[in-house]
Structure 1
Amino acid sequence: MTVTTPENREFDVVIIGAGAAGLMCAAVAGARGRRVLLLDSANKVGKKILMSGGGRCNFTNMHSTSDNFISANPHFAKSALSRYTPWDFIALVEKHGVPYHEKKLGQLFCDRSSKDIVRLLLDECDAMGVQVLTHSPASNIQLGAPLSQAASRSPHRLQTPRFSVSCESLVIASGGYSIPTLGSTGFGFDFARSLGIPVLPTRAGLVPVTLEPKQLRKLQGLAGVSVDTVTAASGAAFRENILFTHKGLSGPAILQASSYWQPGEALEIDLFPGLDLAEHIHTMQHQRPKLELKNLLGEQLTKRVAQRWCDLWLESKPLEQLGKDDIQRVVSACKPWKVWPAGTEGYRTAEVTLGGVDTNALSSKTMEARNHPGLYFIGEVVDVTGHLGGHNFQWAWASGQAAGERA
């Protein structure tokens, strides 16, 4: 239910941010009979949901566990994730008759459109009497006095562009810095800092990497080509495709590794995952001795990549002419291919923000701030970041559920 002016400006719960976590929290709190107001500064709710998954929304992952998340405290997310599983959200999707399919690796997408997920969440909110206001940034937030300072805790107060609001519980679900064109500002980080709540350093995650001009020139003409790899950074490795771009490298494997990569480090890209390349060449020398090296490599790397590798680092000649040193050069150029990124494309194209509100300041069961009763942080604003493939949405649902059950 989207309204222009609330019928009542005194609420039990006010949620700032109508993204995935905020919408989920609003529906759950509303189901408890709480009077809920959901505020968003954008012109419509769920913008990140709408653009996700190429417009199909990878809304969860069937295999999602706490192992699929990055946090300074790897145990923090376990409580919420165990109490609201992918199967719980799948049940909600099926309840609303939203058709979906598994793409790969447990990744679930809408058959039709991401709009189905936004509609599902809005319908849940509407059924629970949640009032939703867009074009409504919150300002002048004043937290109520805790019990130690008053006979009963006074309400939180805040200002919208049109009126003042009071509430018993305030939930910050405003997201991070990623994709600022959708309206992300880092509001939640600034608000937490203003209260003395620690915010861990933030950076772009699940983001393409850029290469220096000299390296780009070596790879010129390969933009748009995708190859299967195992890509590793800081000890984390992912079996997925990489994609050559005009600026550097992207694709699922690069996005995954980017969340672990640190400036100055190399990405190690195994271009022949699961294959003993030296042994494979030896075998082919006997079976297909006249085959050119570039054609053998091209069976895995595509003809364009194989040709470029031979032009840059190898010499393409019949396999029967390759000696031990030649084979070692081939292996060294491919297993792994080491790349030193110049940086990343930053928050402009990042799917998530790494870092955020320190989990040590929050209850893992309820998402409530330990030193600020009635204040909650959920979703991307918290220092919990998922891998690619629906895990970040699962954190939104789980953390929203956790706060909604208490706020």
Structure 2
Amino acid sequence: MDVITVIIMLVLFLLAMIFVFSSALLTPYIGKKNLVTVVILGLVVGIVAGAFLAAPMVEDLPDVTRTIVEESVAGTDIVELELSTNGNLTEIINNISAIDGVEKVDYTGITFKVDEQFATDNDKSRFLSFLKGANENISSIDEVANDTFYVIMNQDADPQGILDSIYYTFGQQTYTHLKYTSMQANATVKANNITKIIAAIGENDAVVLNITGPTEDMINQINKYLPNQFNAVILSGLLGVVVALAGFFVDSIFTLINKFRKKRRTSSDRERIKRKVVPGTENRKTRSRKASKDSIDIFDESFNESPKQTIGSNRRFKQLTEDDLKQKKNTASTDIFEEEKKSKKGFSLNPFKKSSDKKESSKKATKKNAKANNRRKAPRVRPKRK
């Protein structure tokens, strides 16, 4: 299965789940009592989508896993091969060694099997000795079973020459017939290109028996956790049910979330008391705590020499002392004594003294005005109409 087919199947599976979800959203029109119908719809659509869309994709997951692992794993793998003895063994081995990614091909011998056992042990011994002498590259012959033998050859031996010697010996020295011959070899290949190498080996009269190495170990570990086709169908059905329930209760879920958010935003009584402000200043912007570029601290010593002083600054500020307080108290007592003295004298009949009385009355008026001005006046605030 190619990539485009997998993408199309994924899109169709998602469309099936969207159909289930949108059908469940119609609960305001079909009523909450139809929950069972919605669940059955999700289950049926999920099983059908799993059988026709998910199961074929799951079947191809091992190949996808192999492709991903081969791109990420470095090293070499060992590929066990069985070579066909119907062709030229030497030519097959040379062709496999020439494949891009194959580092080397190792082989040790040829296996042959007879259709029946030898009549006597002497016949078997005479046959094996004749076979060993037929080719100088045969190092030994192992008897695997009563009717199976393994011919071990030297390292630089010609495999096809050994096979021809076996055929010649059976035609000349025994009445026992040859049943079959086979040869196995191990190819050391690069792990990141093993899929292409296996495909090329299959075109050269060879069968792959087994693969060992880091790539296969990781692939086998991942494949243990991959679901089979039956599990994929069951999971798709359960997913359809979950999607149907999500669409059925989505309105209730969002309502609960909105209530929870509003509850978190609602302030307590204590916070509302702390946030009380002066009437008319609710929309006033808060003062920035960041100091202005041209501001100056009036409590800094450099402020006395600063040209930025204006009216109301502390240029002429003088701290009061005890002497100043005593002097102010003496002047207040002197003024009181003079007023009592004048009140004892009473009214004067001399017309020339009227001007002095006017001066005294004007002084009293100025003092009253000064006292009135020195009093702290509460600012008149006009409440803002809401």
Q: TM-score, normalised by structure 1?
A: 0.18
The structure where strand makes up a greater share of residues is 1
Which one has the largest radius of gyration?
2
State the TM-score, normalizing by the size of structure 2: 0.19
Q: Which has the higher helix share?
A: 2
